[in-house]
Structure 1
Amino acid sequence: MNAGNGPFGPVVNGTQIVFFEYRPNKSAGYAFTALFGLLSLAHLIYILWRRAWFFIPFLLGGLAETFGYYGRALASDQPTKVGPFILQNLLILVATPFLAASVYMSLGRIITSLDAQRYSVINMRWMTKIYVLVDIACIISQFIGATLPASGDPAAITKAKIILLGGLSTQLVALSLFIFTSWHVHSRIKKNPPELLLKDKSLRWQNYFRAIEVVTVLMIVRSLVRTIEYLQGEGGYVISHEVFLYACDAALMALVMLIFLIIHPGRFVQDARQLKGDQGENFLLGSR
């Protein structure tokens, strides 16, 4: 095992299995542990305040990021140990699919709140279910792919790479189709607003569509960089430079969580529900 600058990993049958190409940065690990911890706490408060239960997977994603980067901080002192490696590798990989699950559900609830189901290219009864099922498959594939390398078996490491690439590629396709769906509905609502928006223009509905589209682009960039990382494999440029993990994964996912704190879909769903209730009450009073 290497006690210097890397690579680091256990020695199995005389062969070193590489966990890290470098010693993970402890300060960066703890900094993002704190950042994701604070963002997760803020989302927990928002979930309880807005009763936005569909954001529970988002919270789980934030917690996965928190403990994933805690694992990287631990790995700085123990880069050859299996425990910290599995903790950071598994949780950081599965965090984004958890975050994505709530993004998928958010679009469905916003479209339903606007009574704009007819504008969706996919039947609303199936849209969220399809995307969430794909997301679950991505979580499972990335769970398996992230834990297999810990065995140290070269065959298992090769199999893990294939499984991870399959999960990341599927996620890229799902996110790309999803952003097209969001853009399509967004465009059609602008051209032909549903009755709710014609009666009351106080709902800033476009902000929520834009937020969903921005966070989806951020997730696409993250998944693309991680796909390139695993395609390049051991010794590749991306995996050998820690800056890619923090710039193209950690920072982007922290931004996703921040955007949805500022423009939270749970608020829109609640406001639209209240507006519908007020309009119904006004209609009944006017008919007396």
Structure 2
Amino acid sequence: MANPPEPSAVPAVPAVRIPDAKVALSTASVYPESTATAFEIAARLGYDGVEVMVWTDPVSQDVEALRRLSDHHGVPILAVHAPCLLITQRVWSTDPWVKLQRAQAAAEKLGASTVVVHPPFRWQRGYARDFVTGIWRMAEETDVRFAVENMYPWRYKDREMLAYAPEWDVTKDDYRHFTVDLSHTATARTDAMAMIDRMGDRLGHVHLADGKGSAKDEHLVPGRGTQPCAELLERLAATGFDGHVVVEVNTRRAMSSAEREADLAEALAFTRLHLASAPASPTGVRGA
């Protein structure tokens, strides 16, 4: 009796590598709803935590209120975004260094590992002059990361204004940690992956959003613009990134709370899908 044919060899499927990075929801992503609503949505959708945008919502400025929200919903606060926006010029003082000191203190009390900070506006001359050395000095006094975020030139029609100093492209200055924001790379019309290459192992924090190169800072749901959101996440997975990936999108045009939540669920699914990497095969082809 003939022996049965040998079963065809089944190629080994490489294991998927998922980095230690946590996926957080920026509280700014639920605007015009409240900071408290962001915690509710983050818990319901399964985000790993939140980044608190400190702004005009009084709850965002109140450390004890934030702690209660975190405990109630079981959602950790992973990062604090210092009040650097035009609309927050009077939040937590008009002195930008005091703002950063308070952001650091809040992060330490809340167990957040990162403070996100923008480079100064050009008209903040004294602050801008001392910003790089000042950030280094503060970073050396705490375990909290001060991750300086890339910005963009302001444009109106054919005119361009450099609104940030020392640079909107923060890789031109020396910082211990960076935040990359892919909506900002779109607005700046700069190569996001080249910027990430320049940041190297100092990339400590990611604001994940998309954009199409408009003069406006769009903060689209990832996958709806032209930025390399998937490529960036796959790069992070392949290199074992251990910072935070924060979904920071604009849902102001959502027609209902349900539509807003659907956008945030889509952004989370996109992030989880691409924040995984099959190790390259001996031929150099991922997943081959």
- Mark the structure with the bigger radius of gyration: 1
Taking structure 2 as the reference length, what is the TM-score of the superposition?
Answer: 0.26
The TM-score, its normalising length taken from structure 1, stands at 0.26
